């Protein structure tokens, strides 16, 4: 959510940003929110003036009573009573206008970074760099669930009976590989100076609306019936929520945390061949990283975060590339975003395995995450990035480490987490 003061003073810049995100249907909202904000401020001023007048009259009542002028004092009391009703009406109007302003402001997209390429959707994202040589072996790479099934590592049929489509049972060495990747990712981030955390897996609605847009919320979140609780879609939601309504001493920044959690997602509209198996599912586990920092340091942390993911995948011999997300592919709260994609030898193309985002002060403004500095208080910047999400990591891992005889090679970095195993047969 952008600063209302910035919007008030720079409406054309806000409209131009909306156009860059190809959301022209939101252009009228800028003028609408400016008018509502003006009404709210006029109402507040009227209420403040009335409160000042009431205070003045209240002092008069005391003076008149002290002079024995009871009738005059009673007349003034009646004026104060009449003003109380007016003040109550003004307060209600002020609250109503404020809620309208906030609701609209939460739908107006954040100002994107000038470096973001302009494009309508993910087909116009821009490749930045490739890491590692993508290899296509001279033997056929089966679909990832077929690889798992040959290794007795997955049971989709039983999961479908128990929970429906979009779930799975992982078994044996594949289940162990899943846990090994998570444990390795955890230690990888701890070694890079991040504090490990296991957060709550459910959050309240005020945290949900603080960390994501309404569209994302509707498409992703599962609501707990009868309670003000939602299952998290990623631990970023819970981790950023950890700082809700706090004032952080500037000397304590940056906050660098890495978190483990299960994730739950509706995955509305998931269709197609590559969305079967474990590519798009309703429940998975994930290692995440988040940073809360000074505004001037967020570009530096953005570069560090996506590089962490690249380094982790390369340590497991998986070729990856980075893509700059174009303006139309950015969620409304994001200032800038880079996707990390892993090489798929079977598909002979890259696919997304992680996304790094700089959200500027949008989440901090919504959640009131402030920093206390010598120059005064200001809103922090927040960033997040996927360390690893094993369902997609497993696809990349199995395809890139599959051997001609159907066994799967275990890279040296992961062997200690697999009991010393060098391959899965």
The DSSP H or E segment spanning 99 is helix 70-105
Give the integer Cα–Cα distance in Å for 121 and 22: 9
Q: Quick one: CA dihedral 345, 347, 350, 352, positive or negative? A: negative
What b/e sequence results for 16-48 when a residue is b if at least 16 CB atoms lie within 10 Å of its CB, and e otherwise?
A: ebbebbebeebeebbeebbebbebbeebbeebe
Mean pLDDT of the chain: 91
Task: Give pLDDT, residue 343.
Answer: 97
Task: Give pLDDT, residue 256.
Answer: 98
**Interval 237-263: pLDDT, tens:** 999 999 999 999 999 999 999 999 999
Out of 113-122, 218-227, 390-399, pick the least confident.
218-227
| Residue range 301-327: mean pLDDT, rounded | 97
Please give the CATH topology (third level) of the domain spanning 122-424.
BirA Bifunctional Protein; domain 2 (3.30.930)
**Interval 8-42: pLDDT, tens:** 999 999 999 999 999 999 999 999 999 999 999 99
Q: In degrees, to the nearest 5, what angle opens at C-alpha 336 toward C-alphas 349 and 26?
A: 105
Task: Give pLDDT, residue 57.
Answer: 64
**Segment of 74-88, 207-221, 350-364 carrying the highest mean pLDDT:** 350-364
Task: Give pLDDT, residue 213.
Answer: 76
Q: What is the pTM of this model?
A: 0.88
Task: Give pLDDT, residue 273.
Answer: 37
Out of 66-80, 152-166, 205-219, 291-305, pick the least confident.
66-80
Architecture per CATH, domain 4-105, reads as Orthogonal Bundle (1.10)
The DSSP H or E segment spanning 264 is strand 255-264
**Interval 263-280: pLDDT, tens:** 998 876 554 434 457 878
Task: Give pLDDT, residue 218.
Answer: 76
Res 51 pLDDT > 80:
no
Q: Domains of the chain: which residue ranges?
A: 4-105, 122-424
Residue 89, Cα to own-chain centre: how many angstroms?
Answer: 38
Q: In degrees, to the nearest 5, what angle opens at C-alpha 39 toward C-alphas 57 and 102?
A: 115
Res 199 pLDDT > 70:
yes
How much is the CA Rg of the chain, to the nearest whole Å? Answer: 27
């Amino acid at each position: 959510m952008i600063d209302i003061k910035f919007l008030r003073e720079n409406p054309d810049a806000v409209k131009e940003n909306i156009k860059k995100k190809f959301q022209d249907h939101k252009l009228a909202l800028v003028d609408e929110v400016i008018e509502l904000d003006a009404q709210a401020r006029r109402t507040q001023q009227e209420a403040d003036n009335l409160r000042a007048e009431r205070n003045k009259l209240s002092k008069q009542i005391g003076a008149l009573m002290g002079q024995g002028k009871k009738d005059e004092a009673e007349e003034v009391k009646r004026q104060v009573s009449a003003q109380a009703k007016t003040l109550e009406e003004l307060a209600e109007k002020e609250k109503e206008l404020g809620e309208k302003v906030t609701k609209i402001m939460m739908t107006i997209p954040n100002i994107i970074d000038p470096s973001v390429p302009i494009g309508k959707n993910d087909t116009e994202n821009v490749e930045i760099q490739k890491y590692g040589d993508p290899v296509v072996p001279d033997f056929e790479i089966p679909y990832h669930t077929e690889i798992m099934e040959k290794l007795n590592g997955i049971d989709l049929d039983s999961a479908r009976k128990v929970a429906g489509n979009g779930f799975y049972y992982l078994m044996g060495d594949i289940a162990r590989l899943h846990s090994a990747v998570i444990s390795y990712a955890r230690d990888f981030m701890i070694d890079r100076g991040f504090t490990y955390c296991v957060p709550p897996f459910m959050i309240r609605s005020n945290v949900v609306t603080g960390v994501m847009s309404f569209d994302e919320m509707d498409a992703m979140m599962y609501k707990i019936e009868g309670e003000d609780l939602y299952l998290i879609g990623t631990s970023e939601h819970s981790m950023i929520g950890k700082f809700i309504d706090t004032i952080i001493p500037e000397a304590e920044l940056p906050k660098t945390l890495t978190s483990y959690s299960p994730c739950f997602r509706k995955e509305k509209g998931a269709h197609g061949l590559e969305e079967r198996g474990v590519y798009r599912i309703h429940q998975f586990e994930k290692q995440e990283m988040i940073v809360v920092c000074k505004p001037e340091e967020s570009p530096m942390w953005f570069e560090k975060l996506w590089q962490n993911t690249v380094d982790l995948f390369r340590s497991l011999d998986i070729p990856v590339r980075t893509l700059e997300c174009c303006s139309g592919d950015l969620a409304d709260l994001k200032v800038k975003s880079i996707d990390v994609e892993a090489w798929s030898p079977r598909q002979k193309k890259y696919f997304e395995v992680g996304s790094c985002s700089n959200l500027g002060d949008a989440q901090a403004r919504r959640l009131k995450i402030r920093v206390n500095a010598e120059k005064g208080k200001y809103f922090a910047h927040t960033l997040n990035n996927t360390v690893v999400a094993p369902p997609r990591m497993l696809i990349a891992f199995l395809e890139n480490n599959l051997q001609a005889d159907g066994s799967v090679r275990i890279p040296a970095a992961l062997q200690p987490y697999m009991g010393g195993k060098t391959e899965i047969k």
